[in-house]
Amino acid sequence: MTGTQTVAGVRTEADHGRHISKGGTIWFTGLPSAGKTTLALALADRLRVDGVDVEVLDGDEIRTHLSAGLGFSRADRDTHVDRIGFVAELLARHGVVVLVPVIAPYADARDKVREHHRPNGTTILQVHVSTALEVCAERDVKGLYAKAFRGEISSMTGVDDPYDVPTEPDLRIDTAAIDQLGAVGLLSDLLCRNGLAYRGIGR
């Protein structure tokens, strides 16, 4: 017998670099500066090493294109999340692993995205990056928290605009308590358990 064999979802050595056809959405929610984008980009790098078709949908980038003109009212935030969710599901349905580091502060908007994935049976996983507000404020290179605390800006998530903490995420990561390598390892295991990657990706 020649070629590659995969037994019980465990990748064999000969399987290295083979494209994984099953797509899914991994939504990283959390406060601003919690570490969502950093984790998503690090995970994307590891997945690409293993030949996974992966895309990162960054909220700030999408605001300049797909969501141009939207503000930060609740209705505009919901529209922003809804648009990203639509694109993520479309890509995931066609075999792409989509990493979405977007705050999505309101639980009902996150639930709506999950429901949009349901009719096509598209996998969606929620990762709560649970880094504390104080740590996020210290990390904030844009100085937005400081401005919000001084009352210079409004509608800042976690300060004067609510953030609905997920009650049952698929994974919860505090980036102040675990380093990037460990966090990416936890994320890799989550993807493996849900059939979006092989055990030992990027190793």
Q: Indicate whether 3 belongs to any domain.
A: no
CA distance 105 to 88: 18
Is the pTM here over 0.75, yes or no? yes
Helix ranges (DSSP H) in 17-73: 36-49, 59-63
Q: Which domain holds residue 29?
A: 20-193
- Rg over CA atoms, the chain: 18
CA distance 164 to 166: 6
- The residue ranking higher by pLDDT, 59 or 154, is 154
Instruction: Assign residue 171 the CATH number of its domain.
Output: 3.40.50.300
Among 74, 76, 47, 46, which residue's Cα sits nearest to residue 63? 76
pLDDT above 90 covers what percent of the chain?
76
pLDDT at 1: 39
DSSP codes joined into one string, 108-165: HHHHHHHHHHTTTT-EEEEEEE---HHHHHHH-TT-HHHHHHTTSS---BTTTB----
Q: Is the pLDDT of residue 96 over 50?
A: yes
Q: Indicate whether 53 belongs to any domain.
A: yes
The number of distinct structural domains making up the chain is: 1
Q: Indicate whether 198 belongs to any domain.
A: no
Q: Is the pLDDT of residue 84 over 80?
A: yes
Q: Indicate whether 38 belongs to any domain.
A: yes
108-150 pLDDT, tens digit each = 999 999 999 999 999 999 999 999 999 999 999 899 999 999 9
Q: Indicate whether 11 belongs to any domain.
A: no
Least confident among 10-14, 21-25, 41-45: 10-14
Q: Is the pLDDT of residue 5 over 80?
A: no
Q: Indicate whether 82 belongs to any domain.
A: yes
Q: Indicate whether 72 belongs to any domain.
A: yes
179-201 pLDDT, tens digit each = 999 999 999 999 999 999 765 54
CA distance 67 to 65: 6
pLDDT at 199: 55
